Each structure stands twice: as C-alpha cells, then as structure tokens.
C-alpha cells in the first residue's frame, strides 16, 4: 500500500546506455521503496527492455504521456515517456550523443515538474559527461545543469552517508583554480547552505568542521596562507552569527573525527578533498545532494558504470538511499 499523506518523488532515468534503468527497477523491487509515490522521467521502451532483462514480475510499468495518467500502486511503476531513445539505436555501455541528450532532457523535464509542484523532490540516476558534451550540452555535471535550469546562483554539492557528510566549496574546477579562486564569501555561503541542510537532517543544531586547504591547515603560514587570509576570517564571521563550527582543521584528521562522531558535517575546500573520504567509506551507499536549489535533489554518488551496464550486475544501494533521503527531507 502507498503511504498516507505521501510525497511524490520524480526520478530521472539518467544516461540510457548506463546503469540508471537497472538500479531504478531494482530499487522499486524493494517494498520500502515502492511504498512511495514515484514517477520515472525517461523512456518507456528503455525501461521496458530493462524490466524484461531483469525478469521482474513483482510490478508492472505504466506508460504515461502526461502526469495525469499516474497510477500510484506498489504493483505499478509510473514512467513519464519522453520518447527520446529507442532500443534499436541504443548501444549499452557506449558513449552516445543521443543518450547524452536524452539524459539532459529528462533533467529539464524533472525541473519543470518540480517548479510546477507536480513532484516534491527529484532523484537523479547518473549521466555521462562525455555523452552530455557530445550532445552539445557543455556542463560539468548535474549540479551545474540544475543550477542553470532553476536560475540558482548560490548552491553547493553535499555528499551524505550514515557516518559522514561533506559539502564542497568548489567542485568541478582544476585544483589550481580551486586554490586561486578561494574566497571568504564563498566559504561563508557554503557553510550557511550546509547548515540549513544538516539542521533538517539532524533535527538539532549541526556541528560543523571546516577543513583547511593546505597540509596541517597551513601550520600558521608555514605551508601556505590560505587559512590565515581566507578561511579563518570566514569561520570567525560565521561563529559571530551563532553557528556551531570549528576550523580550519587539518584535512588529514577532520574526516576521521567526523566519522567518530565529533562533527555532523565537514566543509571541504575542493572536490577530491571531500569525495575521497566519502567514497572510501560509502561508495555504494553515499548520496549526492545539490544544496541551495529551490527544490530538493538527491542522487546516487556514482557514475554510469558502462563496464557493467545492461548486464544485471549493478548495485541499487545508492539509488535506494537517495530515494529514502529525499522522502526523509520532506
């Protein structure tokens, strides 16, 4: 049975050549997932082919041309069919412009549904950046697409696992640009965005740790001045606003301290600083949250896995966690 007073979750199918269709279907096989109102934004014939490949008999697919045709049931998975890709032109596990374009259009449609309050939250299956660019959509990834489509200026990537949550000051830029482009205002905004997300998750005032940029958090200027010139002023200013935070803390210890329970969130200065520890402990269970958008978006914390796509081998754990987190936020 579908939950009373439920929220509606829209799931984008991701790159059709990847594992998106498979992990969505495998997730819906679990009763805890299909007990929710779910709409998949994608291609019906692709989802149907994956459904057949996986030999699923516990639920059927409902093809919809508009959302008024939804049939919410634990025996039915609704597919909003955009009819962009057909199986006779799809090459599983291959980079294709047609798949990159389709993945972009699924996102665009899901944003439209979120803005029109048809769905309460969005969960995204993975896309392939090379296929995306091949199709002419020159974005670094989901985060930037969503920000552009929703006209959002201030946003940040937050990775969440049961033991560790990390938000990033910079993401898809070179390491050199992450250092030279470090700004006090950006750090303060990311702390504020992270605080708002974690307060909802924790239900209490979150404890925030701010990582340093340099080894040993600069060692009082011995290994760089970014902490003295930029990070410390940002931390002190946010403390004056009443936030519970500490930093800058040496990056080689702050994640261990957080996993051990001292903090609820780490503010990482750049992409790999936050991604490496999170993926080490939660590669299959981590969830990506685009914080700062006017609607909730969660996602799997992995890629399209072309090497195992359409072979029935993909793990649905991260997709399940992304769906459950989206429901929890509501």
What is the model's pLDDT at position 5? 57
CA 11-12-15 angle, to 5 degrees, is 145
Domains 8-152+293-329 and 156-277 belong to one CATH topology: yes
**Residues 34, 56 contacting (CB under 8 angstroms):** no
Q: What confidence score (pLDDT) does residue 103 get? A: 98
Alpha helices (H) in the chain, listed in sequence order: 20-28, 31-34, 44-53, 97-115, 129-134, 142-149, 175-180, 184-202, 226, 232-240, 251-259, 271-282, 317-329
Please name the fold of domain 8-152+293-329: Isopropylmalate Dehydrogenase (3.40.718)
Nearest Cα residue to 16 out of 114, 97, 137, 70: 97
Question: How far apart are alpha carbons 213 and 170 in whole angstroms?
Answer: 11
Calculate Rg over the CA atoms of the chain: 20
Rounded to a whole number of angstroms, the distance between the first and last alpha carbons of the chain is 19
pLDDT at 284: 75
Q: What is the Cα–Cα distance from 209 to 235, expressed in whole angstroms?
A: 10
What per-residue confidence (pLDDT) applies to 155? 93
- CATH homologous superfamily for 156-277? Isopropylmalate Dehydrogenase (3.40.718.10)
**Which residues have CB under 8 Å from 278's CB, separation 6+?**
159, 161, 164, 166, 286, 301
330 residues of the chain, pLDDT tens digit each:
555 558 999 999 999 999 999 999 999 999 899 899 999 999 999 999 999 999 999 999 999 999 999 999 999 999 999 999 999 999 999 999 999 999 999 999 999 999 999 999 999 999 999 999 999 999 988 989 999 999 999 999 999 998 999 999 999 899 999 999 999 999 999 999 999 999 988 889 999 999 999 999 999 999 999 999 999 999 999 999 999 999 999 999 999 999 999 999 999 999 999 999 999 988 777 889 999 999 999 999 889 999 999 999 999 999 999 999 999 887
Sorted by where each begins, the domain ranges of the chain are: 8-152+293-329, 156-277
User: What is residue 3's predicted lDDT score, i.e. its pLDDT?
Assistant: 57
Classify residue 223 by burial, with Cβ atoms within 10 Å: 0-12, 13-18, 19+.
Answer: middle
pLDDT of residue 2: 59
Task: Select from 330, 329, 269, 318 the least CA-distant residue to 125.
Answer: 318
In this prediction, residue 315 carries a pLDDT of: 94
- pLDDT value, residue 294: 94
Distance CA 227, CA 67 (A): 50
How many residues comprise the chain? Answer: 330
Q: What is residue 328's predicted lDDT score, i.e. its pLDDT?
A: 87
- What gap in Å lies between CA 194 and CA 291, rounded to an integer? 7
Give dist(CA 197, CA 253) in Å, integer.
Answer: 23
Give the C-alpha distances (Å, rounded to integers) separating 235 from 128, 184, 209, 227, 250.
36, 9, 10, 10, 14
């Amino acid at each position: 049975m579908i939950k009373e007073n439920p929220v509606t979750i829209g799931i984008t199918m991701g790159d059709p050549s990847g594992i998106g269709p498979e992990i969505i279907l495998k997730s819906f096989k679990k009763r805890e997932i299909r007990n929710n109102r779910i709409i998949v934004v994608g291609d019906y014939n692709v989802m149907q082919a994956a459904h057949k490949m996986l030999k699923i008999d516990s639920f059927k697919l409902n093809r919809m041309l508009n959302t008024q045709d939804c049939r919410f049931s634990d025996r039915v998975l609704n597919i909003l069919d955009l009819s962009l890709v057909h199986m006779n032109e799809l090459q599983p596990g291959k980079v294709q412009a047609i798949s990159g374009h389709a993945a972009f259009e699924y996102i665009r449609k899901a944003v439209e549904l979120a803005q029109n309050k048809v769905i309460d939250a969005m969960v995204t299956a993975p896309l392939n950046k090379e296929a995306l660019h091949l199709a002419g959509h020159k974005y670094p990834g989901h985060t930037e697409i969503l920000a552009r489509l929703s006209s959002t200026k201030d946003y940040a990537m937050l990775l969440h696992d049961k033991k560790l949550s990390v938000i990033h000051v910079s993401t898809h830029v070179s390491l050199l640009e992450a250092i030279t482009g470090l700004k006090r205002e950006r750090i303060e905004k990311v702390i504020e965005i992270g605080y708002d997300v974690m307060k909802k998750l924790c239900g209490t005032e979150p404890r925030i740790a701010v990582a340093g940029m340099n080894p040993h958090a600069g060692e009082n200027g011995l290994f760089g001045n970014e902490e003295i010139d930029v990070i410390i002023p940002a931390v002190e200013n946010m403390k004056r606003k009443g936030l519970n935070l500490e930093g800058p803390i040496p990056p080689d210890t702050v994640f261990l301290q957080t996993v051990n329970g001292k903090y609820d969130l780490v503010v990482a200065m750049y992409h790999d600083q936050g991604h490496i520890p999170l993926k080490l402990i939660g590669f299959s269970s981590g969830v990506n949250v685009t914080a700062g958008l006017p609607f909730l978006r969660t996602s799997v914390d992995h890629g399209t896995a072309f090497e195992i796509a359409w072979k029935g081998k993909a793990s649905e754990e991260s997709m399940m966690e992304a769906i459950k987190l989206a429901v929890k936020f509501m």
